[in-house]
Chains A and B, each alone.
Chain A
Amino acid sequence: MSQVEHHQSGVGYWRDLEQLAETPAVEEMMAHEFPGYTPGSMLSAGGASRRRFLKLMGASMAMAGLTLTGCRRWPKEHLAPYSTNPAGRMPGVPEQYATAWEFGGVAQPLLVTSYDGRPIKIEGNPSHPGSWTVKGKLGSADAFAQATVLEMYDPDRSREFLDRSTDKVKVWHWEGFSEKAGEHFGKMKGSGAGFAILSEATTSPSVLDMKKRLLAAFPQAKWYEYEPLSRDAEMEGSKRAFGKPVRSVLHLDKASAVVLFDADLLGTHPAHVRYAGDWAERRRSADHGEMNRVYIAETCFSITGTVADVRLPVHPGRIDALVRALAKRVGVAGVSGDEKLSKDEEAFVDAAASDLKGAGGAGVVSVGPAASVEAVALSHAINQQLGAVGKCVTLIDEPAGDRSSHFAAIAELVKQMTAGKVDTLLILGGNPAYDAPADLDFANALKSVKASIRLGLYDDETSKLCKWHIPRAHYLESWGDARAWDGSVGIVQPLILPLFGGKSVIEVLAMIAGDKVTAGDQIVRRTWKEQFIKGGDFERTWRRVLEAGVLENSASAPIQATAKAGGGGEAGNGAAATSEPSKGAFYLKFEPDSHVHDGRFANNAWLQETPDSLTKVVWDNAAMISVKDAQDLEIKTGDVLKLAANGRWMEIAAYVMPGQPIGVIGLPLGYGRTSAGSIGEKLGFNTYNLRASTTPYVIAGAQVAKTGDTYTLCLTALHHLIDKVGMDGRQERIGGKGESGRLVREATFAEFKKDSKSPHKGFEGAARLQLFKPPHTFNDTHAWGMTIDLNTCIGCNACAVACQAENNVPVVGKDQVLMHRMMAWLRIDRYFKGDAADPQIDVIHQPMMCQHCENAPCEQVCPVGATMHDTEGLNTMVYNRCVGTRYCSNNCPYKVRRFNYFDWHAKPPRNKTGVLYPGLPDQQQNDVDKIRRMQFNPEVTVRMRGVMEKCTYCTHRIARAKINTRNAGTDVKDGDIITACQQACPTQAITFGNLNEKTAAVVGLQRLDRAYDVLGDLDTRPRTRYLAKLRNPVGGGAGASSSPGEHTRMNATVGSESESVG
């Protein structure tokens, strides 16, 4: 039963005998108030024109007014108040439930805040090592996971069972469908010939259990698994190295030297939350005289690349050679061949090998998903040789490792389909019609399948081609379970009944398999009873698991495995791969997109409007091309390129990317959706058009040409290559490569050890100039303050999305971003440092939000006193009082104030500015979509148009903590108040607390020598202080201040610097 469409099941009152008889036809009629009336499809068929909309609206109004339908009375439902309160339940008090979200076959442990039965906020599960940043207290979830709450409330999600087996789309319902399915599958029982199932990647024990049962019922059925972004190479590589699929779990908190090859451990790796936290621990220890060093050789700029100490941009053909060269230098047996390396590569490998060997087992090598199987296998051999296994690497059995590679699977399935051997295809999730490799032409093959059934969140590209569509219940609406990266099993528990009456994977499988247990929770309980909670009191353990979200000590046991010499078999001489690309030919590298991943989040407006960490592009994707290549081909950002490879071609806008390896074009996947919903359709460029099943990540020998057209890319910050005056002005403030900048301070670790104030050298003149004693100190009992550690910030956007979700921050849409009216209270400023053409350009991320200045420039210029200081140092914003002069924003040197130019919550994000959407003043509550409204955090005002807003330091969280502690008769202690951004940060770069509490973490951090005020010379006296970034280049950065472009850090002599690795 859904909450929104209340289907009456089981007939209490009946209108005629047929209804009492419950024949399917009548049931179908009954399920809908107006049979045949499907507003969604009526509007979308042939495009939702205004004319059509008005026609329908006019007709409905006429019907309502002229006939008696408007006066019809449906049976009243009576709501009873809580006469007996469920135990522990207090209306209006938010509750938190632990759950998990399976993303690409790996569980992300989560903690969901629910407000009166509505999940409104997603955070990391602090009881799970996969997400905790402070065990038992603080959990982090990434931007995607946090944004899934918006996905759940997406009004575009499919709500109906659709039957497309005839020309006319029929709206169906679960009961009717299951009856029909029972008939269809009943005939196949016992054989299942011609029955294929295509699933997303999954390690869920319950799904795997249901799979087993299904295959038992249909022995000849085939189960395929496909995920467009998979970690196949890793699995295949480990098979080659160990003879069986093995997963390596890294412990970066124990690693002092980390060498990565195209492995974005901190950004896109399934365990990146854990890895980022562990990495940060080794960065923070710089204050105690120890620091790790991260090397990365990569083919596209990644988040990990931005914070690596040594970054070598290379084209994909070089990765194998580099891994081999490293293997040779660390002494892996069985590596043959002498690699020809360039000067930079030589320096990189030498330094990395030296650090790894010097680390004494505290060094680790990892290879990314786009690399070759050989490189992965070799990385295992290197780790083993280093003695890292057991120290910073734990090997576990790959869960669900018995599958073939995803691309082989989908190719095989298409082969079967085309050969006519598949009569019935069940597609569980995914979106293969959109994201299957282009050479397979999955969409065409799908058309030939007689009975195709699709379970999907949206009526998307795949569903449109299937005969049947079943709305899928969101993971926040359904029962399930999943395995985290470390192998531990966790529970997926629903926070709400399915809003639109969807079904989960296990429920659909149970129905088809004819399982007698059909309810999701019963299926999960059965699995757990059989597999995990065998002895003891099941109910008690089950409750504990529900509470914690994870079964204690269920992480996979480390296994003993020995990598074969040379990574298993000949590592290959790689002659073809290592060759330089021929002139004019480019490598194409497919990347997950930071907004939509593989395309699945296309309809998620939060993610669409969260700027990419590096490009600051929103609502779009673009081809990353290096500065050098762009100069050679006279390409500017926004020029449309024609890319051709393997007989296919596509057009895409270019983004000139500093730090991009020469000869490599980075292509983010997931855009150009055609049936994604009202938010995500017709955005960006579909790069799947070039992807082939044989070369899913890298295509060599692509041709690039300018078409002459230009495309306006939607950016939230100016592109790196702005006019000369601007570039010079920025350089003055940010500093060049290796230099500390006025706004973003940094030093090398070696300099910092010598002089802990070295990041501020040259900026001492920017001391606070105070002619008189400040009249107010704003430290009445509490003095709230924050620190942001630039040293551990990786620019991952988790804080930005957390802020958006917590504070009801609206989305403005592409056209409004082009007018620079983003509403994000917390933005992450990304600065490139140094010469744009230098491939080893430096990057720094600086989260920027309201600094809560004690001497706030915004406050004194507001004519109506809408922004004032409170006694504890908060720069408060009184929305009700604001008339919107925008003077405060003009006078804010940090430009962190955000203005509601329109009624953003009511404005459809894709609606153009020119379109009139008038509303009466201050009547927003009538304009916002009813479903969308359910997600709002009731503790935070939803701002109306015409008012200014900004970061409040999560003032509602402060108030809640104060109320709680007052009730308990104590005072707020350090750690009682966690701001949303702080909570989400996987690296604990953000710390908040009471500056009056001497032992508070924030006090200690603000007193560090690294701490500084951004624009402190304006005497704004900000309460947020920044901690300077430290870099740990090879050679201690001795030559770092000399001219850029000489790669001085790389060329520094190797051998003596390993002692600077902590």
Chain B
Amino acid sequence: MTQIAINAEIDNTSDDPRERELLVLGGRDFTSVTAAVANVAERKTTLGWKIAFAIAVFWLGILGACIGYLFTTGVGVWGTNQPVGWAFPIVNFVFWVGIGHAGTLISAILFLFRQNWRTGINRFAEAMTIFAVVCAGLFPGIHVGRPWLAYWLFPLPNQMDMWPQFRSPLLWDVFAVGTYATVSLVFWYVGMIPDLATLRDRATSRVKQILYGIFAVGWNGSCRHWHRYERAYLLLAALATPLVLSVHSVVSFDFATSQLPGWHTTIFPPYFVAGAIYGGFAMVLNLAIPARQYFGLKDIITIRHIENCAKIMLATGMIVAYSYGTEFWTAWYSGSLYEQFTFWNRAFGWYGWSFWVMIFCNAIAPQILWSKRMRTNLVVVFICATFANIGMWFERFVIIVTSLSRDFLPSSWWLFKPTIIDILMLIGSFGLFFTLFLLFCRFLPVVAMAEVKTVMPQAHAHPEEQDEHSGDEFRSDYRPDEHFRPQEKH
């Protein structure tokens, strides 16, 4: 294979099956990839990061103050009422859980499907997942009337022999989200071990050496380590894959198994999963587009990565839009007065505006991504992803609030209005998310260096076989790391 002349302007977005496009640009070799990624964690703290962190921590503080107020005064500080017993906290919960889907999907499912481009973005997508699940996990815990007793939802052995009620989807939620959070965290951490070892080896201060050393758990890059690591990673990917589908399916059961018109529908599990992936990828894009710019990772997170994410958004956005249509059709076809009214009310009642925001953001806005020119235009993709995030938040708002506000008996119909605490806590949850995310960017390897290197052409250099080209690259079961020899890395 001849050395390809590489320049920054190279377009790696074409999809010619005969040609395998480069996933790392800028003429990077292994050393410069390591340098570029490690530099993010090693360089001096920049002013920009400090400002961003200060803002994030400020909002985190607001969130904390709101929680303190909530605990001492009562959950009435939120705008929830009867009939709208769930509103912002649960909307935020489902929103954040949804965001948390992209990371594990990228790491696990795309890994199993041999989508090599995932390596550039999987690390911070996974980090995003963990932090989103943290945000998500916060809300169900504090939205309950007596938050100090929220642990009763866990099956803890106790002297009264009291167990949770296993028929309740909320309990399934506890298990689903709990499992998902645990597996995602383990998966993320295991995948990070080689890179942590790299940071340990490059560390210049004693403190860093010790801390990275602890977390690198003695990684020395031996053949045996790599072997065990790869097996473990594969197994974890296999374990995480069904969870991607299960967690949001179970979250959707909170609604689907109830009998409230607008909630009571069998389409929810696939529809929620598709929505979650749509929203999750949107969040990945919203984070990746500025991050690659700011951290100088344009060569590793290339336009091709952005475009691929945009394509997934388009596909899942279409599934979501289809589901919206199906819901209306089902409501009409059911012949049920209450179902029909709920959907008519959803579109044209009190909260009609929120429905149309949702439709615009989730069904109409992504259509622009059919155009490759638009998909590769960072500004367009960023705006489109922002719309998707707004749209997905409103989707949950529409489902939860409009259905509850008008159910069976007209005498109990009422509007929900958010209080200032609702709004502050929504913004505060972003404060929590970005605080964690900025800490991650500052101290951990934001790109999976070891994995990226496996998909670089250098990893597949076959000098002794140059004349008898195997054509491996064109095999359907080709794996970039199949000829991988770790010792060549050094």
List the interface of chain A (C-beta within 8 A of B): 717-718, 722-723, 725-726, 729-730, 732-734, 742-743, 816, 819-822, 827, 829-831, 846, 848, 857, 860-865, 881-887, 889-891, 893-895, 897-903, 913, 916-922, 944-948, 1014-1015, 1018
Contact = CB atoms under 8 A, between A and B. Distances in A.
Interface in B230-249: none
Contact of A883 (B73, B83, B86, B150): B150
Contacts of A948: 145
Nearest to B140: A885
A163 B257 CA distance: 68
A886 B145 contact: yes
B165 A903 contact: no
A1033 B279 CA distance: 60
B229 interface: no
Interface stretch (B9-17, B405-413, B435-443): B405-413
B295 interface: no
A903 B162 contact: no
B65 to A, nearest CB: 12
Contacts of A890: 83, 85-86, 258, 260, 404
Nearest to B403: A890
Contacts of B258: 857, 861, 887, 890-891
Given A893-B408, A899-B85, 17 more contacts: A726-B410, A733-B410, A743-B409, A860-B168, A861-B257, A864-B153, A864-B165, A865-B164, A881-B152, A883-B145, A884-B146, A898-B82, A902-B73, A919-B73, A945-B76, A946-B145, A1015-B409
Nearest to B335: A765
A883 B82 contact: no
A183 B259 CA distance: 76
Report the 5 A-B pairs with minimum CB-CB distance, sorted nearest first. A884-B145, A946-B145, A901-B76, A918-B72, A886-B85
B405 to A, nearest CB: 10
B165 A899 contact: no
A827 B171 CA distance: 31
Interface of B: 69, 71-77, 79-83, 85-86, 143-150, 152-153, 162-165, 167-171, 174, 254, 257-260, 337, 341, 344-345, 348-350, 404, 406-415, 417, 419
Given A726-B345, A861-B170, A947-B145, A919 B259 contact: no
A729 B408 contact: no
A1018 B144 CA distance: 27
B72 A919 contact: yes
B414 to A, nearest CB: 4
Contacts of A922: 146
A916 B171 contact: no
B167 to A, nearest CB: 5
A917 B73 contact: yes
Q: Which among B144, B167, B169, B260 has the greatest number of chain A C-beta atoms within 10 A?
A: B144
B168 A820 contact: no
Contact of B409 (A883, A894, A897): A894
Contact of B171 (A857, A863, A882, A917): A863
A252 B261 CA distance: 45
A392 to B, nearest CB: 36
B145 A895 contact: no
B82 A913 contact: no
15 contacts: A821-B76, A827-B411, A863-B168, A863-B171, A885-B144, A887-B258, A890-B86, A893-B408, A894-B408, A916-B69, A917-B73, A921-B71, A945-B145, A946-B74, A946-B146
Contacts of A862: 165, 168
B144 A895 contact: no
Contacts of B414: 718, 820
B409 A848 contact: yes
A481 B49 CA distance: 82
A893 B409 contact: yes
Contact of B413 (A718, A884, A916): A718
A451 to B, nearest CB: 50
A181 B189 CA distance: 89
Contacts of A917: 73
A863 B153 contact: yes
Nearest to A898: B82
Given A820-B414, A848-B409, A883-B153, A729 B341 contact: yes
Contacts of B74: 900-903, 945-946
B168 A883 contact: no
Given A831-B410, A883-B149, A946-B146, A863 B82 contact: no
B164 A725 contact: no
Contacts of B81: 819-821, 901
B409 A864 contact: no
A717 B409 CA distance: 11
Contacts of B144: 883-886, 946
A1021 B146 CA distance: 31
Contact of B76 (A816, A864, A1015): A816
Given A729-B341, A862-B168, A884-B75, A1015 B146 contact: no
